[in-house]
Structure 1
Amino acid sequence: MASRGKSKLWQYWGYGVLAVLLLSLGSATFGPAVYLVLLGLLLVFVLFTAPVYCGAINRRRGNAVEFCRNNSTGLILGCHLRQHKFQKLGREWWSLGWRQKTEGLWTGGQAKMATLSFVVGSVVSVVGLLK
């Protein structure tokens, strides 16, 4: 039977926004408002809809921290477990050092791609705004 849900390709729509930003870099067709809208869309994609690992804290053993490896959407939201939904912004997140906070940004290929796409998109948008 055919799948009745959304296409799997739709979950990567933010990378299309990044492609538009990169392609617009050499031309002067977009104004500042368009760059800001595209950057906002890219930010929403990275924080809330990009397919990544959960990365919420499962347990602590001394100085070592174990992170959840379930699939989730976005760098801010957690996986299907109720305790992980907003743990990244909750009390646990505020008590960690910067090194442990940013480990979730690099926990897998998907998270690396989402993080780098936002960094590249931000740089392209700033360059586009300065033109």
Structure 2
Amino acid sequence: MASRGKSKLWQYWGYGVLAVLLLSLGSTAFGPAVYAVLLGLLLLFVLFQAPVYSGAINRRRGSVVEFCRNNSFGLFLGCHLRQHEWQKLGSDWWSLSWREKTQGLWSGGQAKLATLSFAVGTVVSVAGLFK
């Protein structure tokens, strides 16, 4: 049976933007505006579209916080559960310590890849702006 909708490969389009940034590092083909646009696209991908775990707070048991392990999109958005959709940016986010806020950045392989790709993309873009 043929698959419906978008292909699974399309959900990783941001890593293509990162590849373009990395390949353009040694050349002078791009100007500062192109680097800024590519960095903006990479930021949007990482925050709102990269396939990662949800990481929203399920429950608190004393000092222990349990995080949701459902699949979601982006480091800011939650999973399919209504309570988790915007929880990462909601009131719970503001009451957490920095350690608890950034724990979702390293919660799994996909989140690590998204976080590292944005960090590398930022460094490459800054290097491209000042060459």
TM over 0.5: yes
Q: Report the Cα offset of residue 4 of structure 1.
A: 1.4
- Determine whether 1:25 maps to 2:25: yes
AA aligned to 1:88 is K
The answer to whether residue 54 in structure 2 is matched with residue 80 in structure 1 is no
CA RMSD of aligned residues (A): 0.4
TM-score, length-normalised on structure 2?
0.99
Q: Distance in 2 between matches of 1:127 and 1:90?
A: 34
Paired residue for 1:68? 68
CA distance in 1, matches of 2:130, 2:35: 11
C-alpha distance in 2 between matches for 1:48 and 1:89: 12
Aligned residues: 131
Structure 1 unaligned regions, length at least 5: none
* Letter in structure 1 aligned against 2:44: V
Q: Distance in 2 between matches of 1:94 and 1:22?
A: 35
Query: CA separation in 2, counterparts of 1:3 and 1:111?
Result: 26
1:56 paired with 2:56, answer yes
Read off the aligned partner of 2:47 and give its amino acid letter: L
Q: Counterpart of 2:22 in 1: which secondary structure?
A: helix
- Counting aligned pairs with the same residue, the percent is 82
Please list the CA deviations of residues 38-92 of structure 1 after superposition, one character each: whole Å capped at 9, or x if unmatched.
0000000000100000000000011110000000000001000000010000010
What are the ranges of 5 or more consecutive residues in structure 2 without an aligned counterpart? Answer: none
